Amino acid sequence: YRMVSGIDNAIGRFLNELEKAGLAENTIIVYSADNGYHMGNRGLAGKWSHYEESLRVPLIIADPRVPASQQGKVTDAIALNLDLPATFVDWSGGEVPQRYQGHSLRPIISGGKPNDWRSESFHEHFAVRNRIPAFEGIRNARYKYVRYIDHGNHEFLHDLKNDPDELVNLAGDPAHAETLAAMRERTDKRVQELGGPLEPLAGKFTASTVPHPVASAAVTVTPGKDGFVNLLNGKNLNGWSGDSKYWSMRDGVLTGVTDGSLKMNRFITWNGSTIRNFDLRVKVKVTAGGNSGLQYRGTSRPDLGLDVVTGYQCDVVADNPNYNGMLYEEKGRRILSHTGEKVIVDPQGQPWVVGTMEVKEFSPDQWHDFRVLVEGNHHQHWIDGHQTADLIDLDEKGRSLEGVLAVQVHVGPAMTIQYKDFKIKHLPDDLPLESAQDHPIPAGEYGVRPQGRLPKDWKAPVYGQEK
């Protein structure tokens, strides 16, 4: 919506300038676009397929010479990108060569679709054949036929009237055998007219990604032999999005700096993908008094600030061992577990301490190994191999199972935070979720102390006791 609105606004400004210059009545506007990416539609990430998302693009033409009665109309005439050069030549008074495949759109714009206008269009894609499946086929108002050349001429037949989303392949349906054969024959004929079949694929076909990845986030990266992906290139902030006033790459280290004047926390976000289940390892160094955090499964919140991220956080706190390595939720449920607490968050969002671990101090101004392991709704944190948090989140409304990865600089004293050897292993998407049935909260356990100033007589709630 934001992109469409932006384009619409830009075109509006352009038209206003034409009006101011007195050129609006002498200018033809032709608006079209490239086909967009699937963005996960049909489980695809690219833009190269036979589906309507790839074949159809917008085309709007505004010709001030057209009579008012003909303006603002929508036509079902099939237009091709090849038609645009022919149209421009026609408008300029030139003659379109007979051998040219495209046709001028001028008659459609001026008076409607001619009786002899094309009723079928040919489509093909054979660029980068070793990675993108090559196809060819034809489309008309009712049906679309296509075959994938390097994959045994595997065929698709879609009924665009009764199945506009192209979810059903009718190529194997006996009831449509006649239609399939006819469209196959017309495709053969058109291929011959255009120079004949393609030469056999040279070399081996290698898929860009596996058809059904175990971890969807991993399709954007190439893990090392250990399964981990390095998130820093050691040279610049490419792949990350944040304010360079606070973030930079220094000697191969991601560095955040504040002067003590921050009014709100500031973030830098990894742009590679969202993350779901993962094993994150990173070396961290923070100056005395500093406060930072590893945000994960977060949500970008530009409504709060251009770089603001909310969500789960593994805290990095220099001078408070009870917070260093704890599990916090930025702009959400806040403290979910202090350092050293084993916690179960119940379905209503109340965190309960069901066990404890030793709390250790980790000196500031030294490198420490942080680890965050998230499997389903089970969260675990470590510093230098010592576990600092172990939490099961049963709160379906409050929890997040996927989101962005980021780090922060925090409001407070001037500080420097540094991250290096930043790497992640994406784990399977479909790891099971822990359930309340498998993890009952024992009676008598106490609630996690919430953040903020509490009444002097505050007492932790006790599980199983009425308030």
Domain range list for the chain: 119-208, 216-447
* d(C-alpha 195, C-alpha 81), whole Å: 20
Give me the helices (H) in 92-249, please.
Answer: 106-111, 177-193
Q: Would you state the pLDDT for residue 458?
A: 93
Q: Is 378 helix (H, G, I), strand (E, B) or coil?
A: strand
Q: Would you state the pLDDT for residue 219?
A: 76
Tell me the per-residue pLDDT of 110-154, one tens digit each, with 9 for 90 and over.
888 999 999 999 999 999 999 999 999 999 999 999 999 999 999
**CA dihedral of 326, 321, 263, 232, whole degrees rounded to 10:** -60
Neighbours of 47 (CB within 10 A): 15
Q: In the 8-state DSSP scheme, what is residue 109?
A: H
Phi first, then psi, for residue 15 (nearest 5°) are -65, -35
> How far from 245 is each of 252, 317, 462, CA to CA, in Å?
18, 22, 46
* d(C-alpha 293, C-alpha 312), whole Å: 9
- Find, among 380, 260, 371, the residue nearest to 327 by Cα: 380
Please tell me if the domain spanning 119-208 has the same topology as the one spanning 216-447.
no
* d(C-alpha 136, C-alpha 191), whole Å: 9
Q: CB–CB of 7/32 below 8 Å?
A: no
Q: Which CATH superfamily is domain 216-447 in?
A: Exo-inulinase; domain 1 (2.60.120.560)
Q: CB–CB of 120/138 below 8 Å?
A: yes
In this prediction, the residues of the chain whose per-residue pLDDT falls under 70 are 467
Q: Would you state the pLDDT for residue 90?
A: 96
Q: Would you state the pLDDT for residue 311?
A: 96
Residues in the chain: 467
Q: Would you state the pLDDT for residue 247?
A: 98
User: Is 119-208 in CATH node 3.40.50.1390?
Assistant: no
Q: Would you state the pLDDT for residue 387?
A: 99
Give the largest Cα separation in the chain, rounded: 92
> How far from 353 is each of 30, 314, 376, 389, 392, CA to CA, in Å?
64, 18, 20, 11, 11
Beta bridge partners of 138: 122, 145
* d(C-alpha 218, C-alpha 273), whole Å: 8
* d(C-alpha 28, C-alpha 65), whole Å: 9
Q: CB–CB of 100/37 below 8 Å?
A: no
